[in-house]
Amino acid sequence: MSELELQLQASLASTHNGSFLWRIPEVARRRRDAIDERITSIYSPPFYSGRNGYKMCIRAYLNGDGSGYKTHFSVFFVLMRGEFDPLLKWPFEYKVSLILVDQDQRKHVVQTFKPTAESSSFKRPTSDMNVASGCPQFSKLNVLDDSSYVKDDVLYLKCIIDTSRIFHP
């Protein structure tokens, strides 16, 4: 793919309103890869808090990570270096909600946290990505066997940033 095609693809996948719905296909294969430790985590496409806002993504471990390894589905929020970083307020201090979408009964799994100013995860990025922060024990792994969360081998993760107090240049 040419650089222009890659930029177009990334642009079409991204949002600019602090809310992002990530469609993850081939869940069974990705879980096997994670269990076999071939590919332990996956990243969402980048999304933004606003048109000129913070750049971020989601990182998911389908066989857990850290304290959730082999027992939980782990989900993390990752701040990324963006072109408008010099104009934004640091450290990032806005509430983050991570949601595993229930495709049937709407009994979503929701974890919400407010960043801590001291954490390097929320300081202005000096490399492509900051250290991920989130939920190593987001939900028990058996939730991924529940057909209301994984349908047709697809699951959906949503991330919502409380943008009510964010000033976008």
Residue 25 lies in a domain: yes
Residue 89 lies in a domain: yes
Helix-strand-coil percent breakdown of the chain, rounded to 5?
20, 30, 50
Residue 46 lies in a domain: yes
CA atoms of 29 and 149, how far apart (whole Å): 16
The pLDDT of residue 4: 55
Closest CA to 16 of 45, 43, 54: 54
CA atoms of 21 and 96, how far apart (whole Å): 14
**CATH code, 153:** 2.60.210.10
Check residue 6 and report its DSSP letter: H
Please give the tally of structural domains in the chain: 1
Q: Over 22-70, what HEC string results?
A: EEECCHHHHHHHHHCCCCCCEECCCEECCCCCCEEEEEEECCCCHHHCC
Residue 167 lies in a domain: no
Q: For 90, phi and psi rounded to 5 degrees? A: -125, 145
Residue 106 lies in a domain: yes
Residue 93 lies in a domain: yes
pLDDT tens per residue, the chain (169 residues)?
Answer: 455 555 555 555 556 678 999 999 999 999 999 999 999 999 999 999 988 899 999 999 999 999 999 999 999 999 999 999 999 999 999 999 999 999 998 899 999 999 998 999 999 999 999 999 999 999 999 999 878 999 999 999 999 999 877 766 6
Residue 169 lies in a domain: no
CA atoms of 60 and 144, how far apart (whole Å): 12
Task: Note down the domain range covering 144.
Answer: 3-160
Residue 92 lies in a domain: yes
